[in-house]
């Protein structure tokens, strides 16, 4: 079977993230694994990143690359600013708002220009990145931590794009509405906690 190069490299990349556990001495965690695991520890991060992928998949064409790329880039930048000591107010509220708003984008199948979409995504990504920076463990390398959570974010975005491609290729808006409504409700419940 002749698989595309992406599907051959992906499993190897995943296992490479966990190769540090093969070391003979414990406590050599450099930040890559901490960064990779961090987005999976909060439902708000998971939902937002899946929603970004779903929305980018719905927008199609260049948005499939531009929207997730903007999210990851701004998130990494905000993480660096937070690590350097920049105070970002209302981080948790911004994250919850991102889940609510992304749910609404999916629920109503909203479309904006590429510039407006990228600006909106950048706004929400800033809060996610600041949260990553605030919650970064003290004993890890910042650059590896950022690479770790960027890789996890890309993986979640790709999952959203894949689901969008597989389930939403029909013109039946029911899938969009159910997914958007579910994410919207989850965002509302997260904002009340």
**Per-residue 3-state assignment (H helix, E strand, C coil) for the chain:** CCCCHHHHHHHHHHHHHCHHHHCCCCCCCCCHHHHHHHHHHCHHHHHHHHHHHHHHHHHCCCHHHHHHHHHHHHHHHHHHHHHCCCCCCCHHHHHHHHHHHHHHHHHCCCCCCHHHHHHHHHHHHHHHHHHHHHCCCCCCCHHHHHHHHHHHHHHHHHHHHHHHHHHCCCCCCHHHHHHHHHHHHHHHHHHHC
30 phi, psi to nearest 5 deg: -100, -10
pLDDT tens digits, the chain, 193 residues: what are they?
Answer: 455 555 555 555 555 555 554 444 444 467 899 999 999 999 999 999 999 999 998 887 888 899 999 999 999 999 999 999 999 999 999 999 999 999 999 999 888 888 899 899 999 999 999 999 999 998 899 999 999 999 999 999 999 999 888 876 655 667 778 889 999 999 999 888 7
4 CB neighbour count, 10 Å cutoff: 8
> Which bin fits 25, alpha (ψ -120 to 50), beta or left (φ > 0)?
beta
Contact 77, 83 (CB under 8 A): no
């Amino acid at each position: 079977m002749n698989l595309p190069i992406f599907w051959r490299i992906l499993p190897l990349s995943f296992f490479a993230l966990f190769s540090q556990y093969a070391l003979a001495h414990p406590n050599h965690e450099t930040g890559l694994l901490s960064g990779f695991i961090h987005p999976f520890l909060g439902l708000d991060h998971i939902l937002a990143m899946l929603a970004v992928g779903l929305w980018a998949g719905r927008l199609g064409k260049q948005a499939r690359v531009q929207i997730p790329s903007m999210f990851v880039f701004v998130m990494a930048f905000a993480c660096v600013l937070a690590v350097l000591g920049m105070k970002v107010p209302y981080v948790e509220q911004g994250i919850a708002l991102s889940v609510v708003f992304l749910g609404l984008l999916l629920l109503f199948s909203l479309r904006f220009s590429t510039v407006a979409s990228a600006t909106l995504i950048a706004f929400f990504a800033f809060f996610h990145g600041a949260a990553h920076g605030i919650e970064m463990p003290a004993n890890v390398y910042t650059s590896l931590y950022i690479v770790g959570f960027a890789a996890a974010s890309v993986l979640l975005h790709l999952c959203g794009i894949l689901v969008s491609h597989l389930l939403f290729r029909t013109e039946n808006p029911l899938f969009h509405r159910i997914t958007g409504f579910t994410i919207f409700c989850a965002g509302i419940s997260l904002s009340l906690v």
